């Protein structure tokens, strides 16, 4: 039985769980899976720190969950 190529490639990409914190670090905004810390920062900024018009309204911190 052969697997689809996209399924096989998806299994090869290793993602890590990151916690998204508010800028002062005292409130957890959520959790995301990302490939590395830079990718996690881009995803967190897009999901949690961007207004409906597309402008950045805050800065999120990301921390790797062990």
Interval 2-51: pLDDT, tens: 556 666 666 677 889 999 998 888 889 999 999 999 999 999 988 888 77
Q: Give the domain extent around 20.
A: 15-64
In-domain check, residue 41: yes
In-domain check, residue 33: yes
In-domain check, residue 45: yes
Give dist(CA 7, CA 30) in Å, integer: 27
Quote the pTM value: 0.72
Q: Is pLDDT at 66 greater than 60 in this prediction?
A: yes
In-domain check, residue 50: yes
In-domain check, residue 59: yes
**What does the DSSP 8-state code read for residue 50?**
B
In-domain check, residue 10: no
**To 5 degrees, how large is the angle CA 23–CA 26–CA 30?**
75
In-domain check, residue 31: yes
Question: Domain total for the chain?
Answer: 1
In-domain check, residue 51: yes
């Amino acid at each position: 039985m052969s697997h689809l190529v996209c399924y096989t490639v998806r299994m090869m990409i290793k993602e890590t769980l990151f916690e998204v914190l508010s800028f002062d670090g005292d409130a957890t905004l959520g959790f995301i899976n990302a490939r590395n810390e830079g990718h996690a920062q881009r995803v967190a900024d897009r999901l949690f720190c961007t207004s409906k018009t597309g402008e950045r309204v805050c800065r999120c911190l990301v921390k790797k969950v062990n």
